[in-house]
Amino acid sequence: MALIDPAQLCASISVHATSITATANKLADSLDRGDPNVLQLNMMAASSDSLQRQTSQFLQTLNSTKVVPTQLRDDIDRLLAACAGRMNNMHRDFTGLQPADSLMLNGSILTAYSSYIMIHSQLFTYFDGTLKNAQQDQSPISLPGRQIIEQAESVTHLVDKSKAMLLNSDTHKISAQLDNSQSPVTNTTNAPPPYMSTATSPISPRCPMDNSGRPKGSSFFRSLTSGLRSKPDPFASALCQAVIQGDEKQISGLISQGASVDGRNEKGDTPLKCAIKHDRDGAARLLLSAGAKFSSKSWSELPYLFRAASLGNLNVARVLIEFGASVSSKAASGQPHFVELIAKGSVNVAGIGFLLANGVDARTKDITGQEVIVSAVKKGSVELVRLLVEYGADVNVKDIVGNPVLVAAVESGDSNMTELLLSKGANTDGRTILGTTILEHAAGKRQFEVVKKLLAYGANPAGTDVHSQPILIKILRDALLKTNEKVEVIRQLLDNGADPDTIDAIWGLPAICHAVEMSKAPVVDEMLRRGAKTKVRMLAGQTLLTYSIDVNRRNHVKALLDYGVDVNDVDGLNRTPLTMALQRLDYNLTKMFMDHGADATADANKDAVKFIKALKRNDLLELLESTRDVANTSARPGRTRPTIPDLSEMPVLEGPPPSYELAAGKC
């Protein structure tokens, strides 16, 4: 499931609200004062303006709130995502309207839209106040808050229902108007000569432009008002055909005959837009010389220069630059068009490079103050990020919430992006907004390829989290890590300078204690192989050996003995490994300790030896009396050595063993 980015959603809502405000004001100004839709449009403009301001204020409060209760966070994420989606649809449907379309405005849909925007403005006002007062252990959603949320959800359904009803009821009316509309009368005496293609194949009367970029059903308002719109300019359609074919002679002829260089064909495209689509730089130069405008009238479209760059059609882009197109233009909302281009789904790297080479600032910021490299990293475009860095983008900038841009690469698990940022100087020891190092953040998310890259570029393996807990300790105590993964990460940390005797920040125990407590034998073996000190005590005073016997981990016992742990060391409960083996009447374990030099005559073992004698366990007594050299010889004739089964290793305990309770005075 994709993670929700509140900052991005709030920015989207704010931009769309600003655009809708401007469009509503424009349409209201085009109507007579007595028109009933003027009031609805003014209400919509006021509501959108309020929503924009409340969204910005809410985002500031959200960014400054350290702890957001889970229930409130879920409500915020859900409603933010829903609002951003609806505002995007509303922006798409509404902002394409021109003053000429105002006759087809429907009062019911305007009312539904105004209500939707107004309720969500109140909703973000409520969330803003709630975040300022919320406590972590209290339920932050009050009854009035729940009512506002329910109203927001209800008005969402109302908008959807109103759109569906309007489409169903008006489609037949518009079809009838289309059937009854008369063909426009043209003056044939002054018409330019018919356009003839230089090709032998006939030319379609429609401009065969690729329209895949337009969303399916992108504007239901456009479909409703299409019957009353002005018919396409026939000269413009012919001019578009000539542009697509690259017939500059015919283009000049049509222009000299009076064809409008800013007219639109049946698809709504201008000749210059057709030139951009097909990278006809010669045609573009003729059109611009004749006065064609290189800026789109639509709020939702990028300027022609950025459109050409997005397609990688750089021949036309160069012509536009020659005629004064600006690489630093901004939308009405204040958002740089370069930012909008980067934010689009697919980015043409060559086009971005062209804009950068012609003066676009690689450190351009969006309206929230976030630099474009952050968006590029989150998109996962390594080549785009490389290009931005080459033109001066900073690899150590922070996103809108305060995380270094390297964190975005880490969270996506993109090792190539991580390596690029690191190779360009990204700080390996930066910290997230939660105070954890980037290395610990990557390890916590199990992005082990990223961990390798960070360590290779000098990340400090001794770094800690916000609670000062070393990374090595956190890895050892991670019960969800597979054994092979844990061994690999520990090996990387130790290879790059982590201390095998690192002490944890909570219990004061060395790393080997956590390895013995939490891990499988390969992890313990790796720690021992790296020289971890074994003359240590567990929390309840056991030695590493006596603790392993307590929790029945024979593989740990064997690994510890193989690395020379003192078999005669007495723990805090006055026990030796041999004493514990004898008390358990465990022949195999007793033999293992005797083979590794256990001293049966030590004072700490006397009571256990007496216990064996009282039970008349001659097999164990014989084992104790034998020397190491004869420990593997057969038993004396006439005696039968009992076969003691080797118990299988018990599962790893996730909590402290019973002896911890004893030390804490709970037993």
Count CB atoms within 10 A of the CB of residue 599: 14
User: Residue 320: its pLDDT value, please?
Assistant: 94
With 70 as the cut, is the pLDDT of residue 103 above it? no
The pLDDT tens digits of the residues spanning 407-437 come to 999 988 888 999 999 999 999 988 888 888 8
Number of domains in the chain: 2
With 70 as the cut, is the pLDDT of residue 195 above it? no
CA distance 306 to 304: 5
CA distance 256 to 259: 7
Q: How confident is the model at residue 331 (pLDDT cuts 50, 70, 90)?
A: confident
With 60 as the cut, is the pLDDT of residue 640 above it? no
Q: Two tokens at 335?
A: 């958002």
Within a domain: 383: no
User: Residue 187: its pLDDT value, please?
Assistant: 43
With 70 as the cut, is the pLDDT of residue 186 above it? no
Q: How confident is the model at residue 201 (pLDDT cuts 50, 70, 90)?
A: very low
> Which position has the higher pLDDT, 115 or 388?
388
- What is the b/e burial string over 561-598, where b = at least 16 CB atoms within 10 angstroms of the residue's CB? bebebbbbbbbbbebbbbbbbbeebbbebbbbbbebeb
User: Residue 365: its pLDDT value, please?
Assistant: 93
User: Which whole-number Å values give the CA distances from 93 to 109, 337, 430, in the listed order?
Assistant: 11, 21, 44
Specify whether the CB–CB gap between 348 and 310 falls below 8 A. Answer: yes
Cα torsion through 350, 353, 355, 356, rounded to 10: 180
> Which position has the higher pLDDT, 117 or 143?
117
Residue 592 belongs to a domain with what CATH number? 1.25.40
**Which residue is associated with the tokens 């252990």?**
137
DSSP 8-state class, residue 535 = -
Within a domain: 210: no
Radius of gyration of the CA atoms of the chain, in A: 38
CA distance 375 to 359: 20
Within a domain: 122: yes
User: Residue 662: its pLDDT value, please?
Assistant: 40
Beta bridge pairs of residue 470:
464
Beta bridge pairs of residue 510:
503
User: Residue 510: its pLDDT value, please?
Assistant: 94
Within a domain: 116: yes
Count CB atoms within 10 A of the CB of residue 228: 14
Q: Two tokens at 135?
A: 């406590």
Regarding pTM above 0.85, the answer is: no
User: Residue 558: its pLDDT value, please?
Assistant: 92
The pLDDT tens digits of the residues spanning 542-585 come to 999 999 999 999 999 999 999 889 999 999 999 999 999 999 99
Within a domain: 1: yes
CA distance 139 to 72: 8
User: Which whole-number Å values give the CA distances from 216 to 211, 223, 345, in the listed order?
Assistant: 10, 12, 16
The pLDDT tens digits of the residues spanning 442-474 come to 887 888 888 889 998 988 898 777 788 888 998
**Which residue is associated with the tokens 């002679």?**
249
User: Residue 130: its pLDDT value, please?
Assistant: 81
Across the range 256-263, mean pLDDT stands at 86
CA distance 407 to 573: 48
With 50 as the cut, is the pLDDT of residue 484 above it? yes
> Which position has the higher pLDDT, 414 or 94?
414
Specify whether the CB–CB gap between 267 and 207 falls below 8 A. Answer: yes
Within a domain: 150: yes
CA distance 667 to 663: 9
Return the top range by mean pLDDT from 145-154, 195-204, 284-293.
284-293
The pLDDT tens digits of the residues spanning 344-361 come to 767 899 999 999 999 999
User: Which whole-number Å values give the CA distances from 663 to 459, 542, 572, 578, 659, in the listed order?
Assistant: 38, 10, 10, 22, 6
Across the range 377-404, mean pLDDT stands at 93
User: Residue 308: its pLDDT value, please?
Assistant: 93
The pLDDT tens digits of the residues spanning 363-388 come to 999 998 999 999 999 989 899 999 99
> Which position has the higher pLDDT, 536 or 1?
536
Count CB atoms within 10 A of the CB of residue 44: 28
User: Residue 440: its pLDDT value, please?
Assistant: 85
Q: How confident is the model at residue 300 (pLDDT cuts 50, 70, 90)?
A: low
Backbone angles phi, psi at 503, to 5 degrees: -100, 135
Q: What is the mean pLDDT of the chain?
A: 78
DSSP 8-state class, residue 629 = G
Beta bridge pairs of residue 404:
398
Which residue segment(s) compose the domain that 160 sits in?
1-31+38-62+73-90+109-133+143-170
The pLDDT tens digits of the residues spanning 160-180 come to 666 666 555 544 444 444 344
Within a domain: 46: yes
Q: How confident is the model at residue 141 (pLDDT cuts 50, 70, 90)?
A: low
With 70 as the cut, is the pLDDT of residue 191 above it? no
CA distance 239 to 246: 10
Q: Two tokens at 535?
A: 């003359």
The pLDDT tens digits of the residues spanning 600-614 come to 999 999 999 999 999
> HEC profile for 551-581?
CCCHHHHHHHHHCCCCCCCCCCCCCCHHHHH
Specify whether the CB–CB gap between 543 and 569 falls below 8 A. Answer: yes
Judged on CB neighbours under 10 Å (0-12, 13-18, 19+), 357 is: exposed
Within a domain: 4: yes
Q: Which helix (H) or strand (E) holds 129?
A: helix 107-133
